[in-house]
Structure 1
Amino acid sequence: MKLAISHQTEYRYDPPLRNIVQSLRLTPSVFEGQKLQDWKIEVSGGLRGPGFRDGAGDWISGWTVRGPAEQIVVSVTGRVDTRDTAGVLRGHREMIHPLAYLRDTKATRPAEALRELAGSVGAGTDRLDLAHRLSAAVSDRIAYRPGVTEAATTAAEALEQGEGVCQDHAHVLIALARLHELPARYVSGYLHSTSDGTAHDAAHAWAEIHVEGLGWVGFDAANACCPDERYVRLGSGLDAPDAAPIRGIALGQGAERLSVAVQVEDVEALQRQSQSQTQS
């Protein structure tokens, strides 16, 4: 699948900030399921710093904005060729040992309800089957409903509410997997459409679980599936804050307002539509 992506993040500060340093994890991962055709990152008024590939295999680029800065716009545009690998992250180079992803964080710390749900799924020697059953359990227990949770909502809180967004599904699944001694991590990226074909116009997130003998496998409990050619993977971390596409520090005490616009389009579908309109 050929996907064209446009992602714009706008920050407004009042009063303006004196200086801002950002770390951007906004370049698609390199593995068998993705091939980057072109990719451009721009930061308004920003100075590009050095970039590096971290231990998880993610490309990190640094930017500095010298103030006074009242507004900053981070723009990403590009095209990615994707193919379905049944969720398996093949050909991805990284140095962090999978066992490092057994560590809990504030967002994924298991409460009693999480332990009970993990226990209700059972165990078994087939670890891939167990991972699928855990993902299905999360899909059943948490309804997808935007606006009912916040960025700081934990896995335990999302499970108690029984509602949430993709971040919440991922955090709960990660918590359950770690309770079964399965290394698990949070993945940020993009999604062209949901499982029923509905257009998806926002950044997306899912979980990856490490299965011995197979490697990292993605599970999107929010859509009850494994990532396929509709998904573009950016990067990973222990939880959402750790895998955040944009992180930064600033000098100043300005109140921050944030707006995000993401568009993911099927290039070939757009071409067919254009040809059809031309012929008509």
Structure 2
Amino acid sequence: MILTVTHTTLYRYDAPVRGVVQSHRLTPSRFDGQQPRAWQVTVSGGIVGGGFRDGAGDWVQSHSVPGPVSEITVHVEGTVETRDTTGMLRGHREGIAPEVYLRKTAPTRPDAALAALAAAAVAGCDDRLDCAHRLSAAVSEAIAYRPGVTHAHTTAAEALALGEGVCQDHAHALIGAARAVGLPARYVSGYLMAAEDGTRHEAAHAWAEIWVEGLKCWVGFDAANRCCPDDRYIRLGSGLDARDAAPIRGSARGTGGESLDVTVAIQSVQQ
């Protein structure tokens, strides 16, 4: 499938800031199921800095904007060719050992309830791929998709207690559950063309990847949509949790408040 993406993030500052520095994970991954055809990231008034490919295989690019500045726009536009690999991430070059992703973080740390859910889900399961599917299904059942009830800092344990959340909460809960039973897991940020007819809509998305030793690869699980990523998905980058995998991270030199407005649209132009 050929997918086009338009992603605009507008930052506004209450008072002009002296400058802004940002680190972007906004370049699509390259692997057997995904190849970028054309891709451009622009920052209004920005200066392109250094870039590098990190140990997880993600491209990280820095930008700086000299001040004084009251408003910054980060605009992403491009085309990506995707193929359904049933969630398997093959052909992706990275150098970090999967065991690194057993490390717990504040958003993904399992409490007693999440640990119990994970243990019950994999009881009697000897196949790691089957265990991963069971964990994803258990999280899907335990947390209903409902926007507006959680926020950016909601933890996996809190979302499970609420029984509701969004894709970030599903990903964090699945990661926490997988790590609780000894399966390396990580957070993935990207895009999803959710509309069957290919019409434009907001499409920022997140899911989890679990390392399956028998397959010797990462396998994606989207507990929010009860499926594995297919050719409707575009993978940007990964990390231990949402903050670690954030497409845009940065800091502004100033004392005023910051607000942002995000618009993301993805469209299929060819089957």
Report the TM-score range of the alignment, normalised by the length of the smaller protein. over 0.9
Query: How far apart are 1:19 and its partner, in Å?
Result: 1.1
What is aligned with 2:224?
Answer: 222
What is aligned with 1:262?
Answer: 264
8 Å CA contact 1:170–1:220 kept in 2: the answer is yes
Q: Pick closer, same or farther for the CA change 1:60–1:18 going to 2, 3 Å.
A: same
8 Å CA contact 2:200–2:265 kept in 1: the answer is no
Unaligned runs of 5+ in 1: 270-280
1:19 aligns to what SS in structure 2? strand
CA distance in 1, matches of 2:25, 2:240: 14
Q: Pick closer, same or farther for the CA change 1:46–1:228 going to 2, 3 Å.
A: same
CA distance in 2, matches of 1:199, 1:17: 34
What is aligned with 1:135?
Answer: 136
8 Å CA contact 2:128–2:214 kept in 1: the answer is no
What is aligned with 1:247?
Answer: 249
* Matched AA of 1:50: G
Q: Pick closer, same or farther for the CA change 1:98–1:266 going to 2, 3 Å.
A: same
What is aligned with 1:60?
Answer: 60
* Matched AA of 1:218: G
8 Å CA contact 1:194–1:223 kept in 2: the answer is no
Structure 1 residue 30 corresponds to structure 2 residue 30: yes
CA distance in 1, matches of 2:130, 2:195: 23
Identity of aligned residues (%): 65
8 Å CA contact 1:2–1:80 kept in 2: the answer is yes
Query: How far apart are 1:197 and its partner, in Å?
Result: 8.4
Query: TM-score by structure 1 length?
Result: 0.93
**Cα RMSD (Å) of the superposition?**
1.5
8 Å CA contact 2:198–2:267 kept in 1: the answer is no
CA distance in 2, matches of 1:250, 1:70: 11
Unaligned runs of 5+ in 2: none
CA distance in 2, matches of 1:198, 1:58: 29
Greater CA drift, 112-121 or 94-103 = 112-121
Structure 1 residue 237 corresponds to structure 2 residue 250: no
What is aligned with 1:13?
Answer: 13
CA distance in 2, matches of 1:195, 1:86: 18
8 Å CA contact 2:199–2:267 kept in 1: the answer is no
8 Å CA contact 1:195–1:225 kept in 2: the answer is no
Query: How far apart are 1:36 and its partner, in Å?
Result: 0.9
8 Å CA contact 2:26–2:248 kept in 1: the answer is yes
What is aligned with 2:69?
Answer: 69
Greater CA drift, 104-113 or 195-204 = 195-204
CA distance in 2, matches of 1:132, 1:59: 29
CA distance in 2, matches of 1:56, 1:119: 28
